[in-house]
Structure 1
Amino acid sequence: MRDVRRASRPSPGHDQGGRNPAFRRFLADSTPVVAGGRAILLQIADPVVAAGVRRHSDFARRPQQRLAHTLMYVVAVVVGTPEDAAVAASFVSHAHRPVAGADDPDRQLWVAATLVDSAIRTHRLLGSPVDDERAEDLLRAYRPIATALRVPAERWPDSMAAFERYWVSTLAQLRVTDEARGVVRDLLHPRHAPGWVRAAMPVVRIVTVGMLPATVRAQYGFAWGPREVRRFRRTVAGLRLFRAVVPSALLRLPGPLLLRAMHRTARRYPAA
């Protein structure tokens, strides 16, 4: 692997110093982690993304790896330092090198869009007040996720209204393939994951499937009737209660841990 410290500089939109402390704390809240699986399922509903993940990722043996790497990237680019963002972008660039179509701006734009949409929806689902102004702030904060992946800055929607138009249009074009379904089997029913991952999977499956848009959920073939709806609502109620009693400092703890793990990996692979 090439020296990650020599990665290209992140987008000019990577402006941490200009954000007020309350918004920085909001961005550092790990609540969107709950929707990590949902974001991945939406990403691989694009056939090109699904093919790349299936052929070049180690999903069957380490299904949690793509989720962890995705979360590292989001934390590094959205709330990390410029150095953090550069390291994360370098890792992604290295991983994408052998994958046909991985650097397609249309695909990278969709990947970034699933992350901001999942973040907004998860905060609202679990009780965080995200009004229109806060949603616009989040949209701007997540812009460097796309531009660091070489999506032209002008391609990122400049308002939530523009984002919703893009979202609806792209959802209508998604097509879940057998490759995507194979990835989902590995992700939601991991055979070789650590015990703590397998123990969490029942909750992960319920939340992931329940948060999907109905059209995408149907393409994957997930059962979704009154029993599943009740189970989803009970699970969400439990997560809201858990989130309400957990100290905010603990909700922000995963971010620093992910950044430390990322930099440890960078030190182990300092050169191409």
Structure 2
Amino acid sequence: MRSHDDHELFRRHAAEGVLLLGGGAAILLQLADPRVARGVARHSGFRDRPLDRLIGTLDYVYAVGFGDDAVAREAVRTVNSRHAPVRGAGSGDEPAYSAFDADAQRWVASTLLWVALSLEERLWGPLDPRTADAIVRGYAPLGSRLQADASGWPDSRAEFDAWWRDRLTSLEVTDEARGVARALLSSSPALPFGASVALPAVRLITAALLPPQLREAYGFWWTPRAARVAHAWLRSVAVLWPRLPRGIRHAPMLASLRRAERRSRYAGHEL
């Protein structure tokens, strides 16, 4: 059970739109679990509707983290409905997969947490233990509101870091994962006009945030110059972001919640 103070510390962290800079790294980490990669490659619309899929994920995260019970319930119902057909039997060296796999859901939630913590500390330095522990606990409902058991979620940053280090050793970047990553980080006719201009920066920040072994496995060309450029961009963000008005910093969360609240009201009228 999260305390009121925990909840406030988590919300202060998760409301910041700057965390979206880590979205690409979180997705590539998720795909490094072959079960997730198979499900995404066979059922996801990333190739045809990359932004639609990303917005759907954000809407779920913000609805569970910031919405009231009705908004969160509708977000869970929507995700479960989308997940229902995502399943397949194993064959040879390929694992079986299911979007209702509790362990895979826990892995997806953990990637969002790890990237958020890593990005915040890259920008502004180490978090104090109390805040870091509250953030860890704050991410637990992302899996537990679906099928993942909340009792399996770490209760502190130290527990999470130990679990994470062990989990990294079991990851494998498959051809399916690399194929989805290429589709996600390459120019696509499905992207809005002008969005492809940002892709070089997205690719560089994504590579900078990945653990080195996964960056190599995905085939990123990582040089000292690339590292310097990524560091310079992150340093600029660290200086400029806190100076922006709160309405801009929280704009992605606020827009997502408005969408979620509209869906929740509409679903209520259907009952």
Same fold at TM > 0.5: yes
Of 7, 20, 25, the match for 1:38: 25
How far apart in 2 are the matches of 1:24 and 1:211? 22
Per the TM alignment, residue 249 of structure 1 is displaced from its structure 2 partner at its CA by 3.0
Q: What is residue 6 of structure 1 aligned with on the other side?
A: none
Taking structure 1 as reference, are residues 58 and 270 closer, same or farther at Cα in structure 2, changes over 3 Å only? Answer: farther
Amino acid aligned to 1:94: S
Instruction: Give the direction of change, closer, same or farther, for the CA distance of 1:196–1:171 in structure 2 (3 Å limit).
Output: same
Q: Which residue of 2 aligns with 1:236?
A: 234
Give ranges in structure 2 of 5+ residues lacking alignment: 88-97
Q: Which runs of 5+ in 1 are unaligned?
A: 1-12
Amino acid at match of 1:216: L
Shift in Å, 1:126 = 2.0
Contact kept in structure 2, 1:64 and 1:187, CA below 8 Å: no
- TM score, norm. by length of structure 1: 0.87
CA contact (8 A) 2:9 2:135 kept: no
Distance 2:28 2:67 in 1: 25
In structure 2, the residue matched to 1:71 is 58
| C-alpha distance after superposition, 1:10-58 (max 9, x if no partner) | xxx5x69665756533332222111111111100111110111111111
Aligned length in residues: 259
How far does residue 205 in structure 1 lie from its aligned partner after superposition? 1.0
Aligned residue number for residue 91 of structure 2:
none
State the alpha-carbon separation in 1 of the partners of residues 11 and 39 from structure 2: 33
Of 168-177 and 154-163, deviating more is 154-163
Structure 1 residues 20, 261: CA separation in 2 closer, same or farther (over 3 Å shift)?
closer
SS at 2:148 equivalent: coil
**What is the percent sequence identity of the aligned residues?**
38
Cα distance change on mapping 1:269 and 1:53 into 2, 3 Å: farther
Between the aligned partners of 2:85 and 2:10, the Cα distance in structure 1 is 37
What residue in structure 2 maps to residue 144 of structure 1? 141
SS at match of 1:195: coil
Residue 69 of structure 2 is matched in structure 1 by 82
Change in Cα spacing, 1:227 to 1:18, as seen in structure 2 (3 Å) is: closer
Structure 2 partner of 1:7: none
| 1:128 CA displacement | 6.5
CA deviation vs aligned residue, 1:199-227 (integer Å, no higher than 9, x gap): 22222111111100011111111111212
- Name the TM-score, length of structure 2 as normaliser: 0.87
Q: Please report the RMSD computed on the Cα atoms of aligned residues, expressed in angstroms.
A: 2.3
Aligned partners of 1:74 and 1:145 also within 8 Å = yes
